Amino acid sequence: MTIGKVWRLILAALLGTGAGYGTISAQGKSEIELVSKADAIRLFKLTKQQWLQEIRAAVSSGQAVATGGDPQIPGMSTTTPEGDILVVRVDYSKDDRKPLFIQVMVGYRQHRAKLFTDGNVKDAIVAAQRQMAPEFEVVANADRIEGGLAFFIQILEAGR
């Protein structure tokens, strides 16, 4: 699977752009799928060098911007046409051969954040945890920041 397809799947799942995935949705009771189990399995098999290659490919194609910060947690970010922000980082702090966890941050600007109730936010997190079990544990929270809404998500392999 190419990084472009991974980004489209993550964006579709997180930002409600289709592709047959459930969405974090302010209305309705749709199921939420952050990233498919198959995609998470694939990302957990990438070495740090492979992930860095995917970041470089996404940046060179204009799909993303590399994130700065800790070189042990390389990642990339993009802004959707709706103005939402998506950041995906993979933690290689223990071993360059295998990630410790996948970190995802989704930021909704004020006009879109208003669509989410506190109940929607909690439901989205619970549904994501349920869908990724038993293979993965999802640790997540959401905060309202300056009128916007940010989901902070970590995906870990269960039992690790």
**pLDDT score of 128:** 85
Q: How confident is the model at residue 113 (pLDDT cuts 50, 70, 90)?
A: very high
CA dihedral of residues 87, 93, 94, 97 (deg, nearest 10): 60
Q: Which tokens hold the place of 95?
A: 């071993």
Domain ranges in the chain?
Answer: 3-157
**pLDDT score of 21:** 29
For 33-83, the pLDDT digits (tens) are 546 778 788 899 999 999 999 999 999 999 999 998 899 999 999 988 888
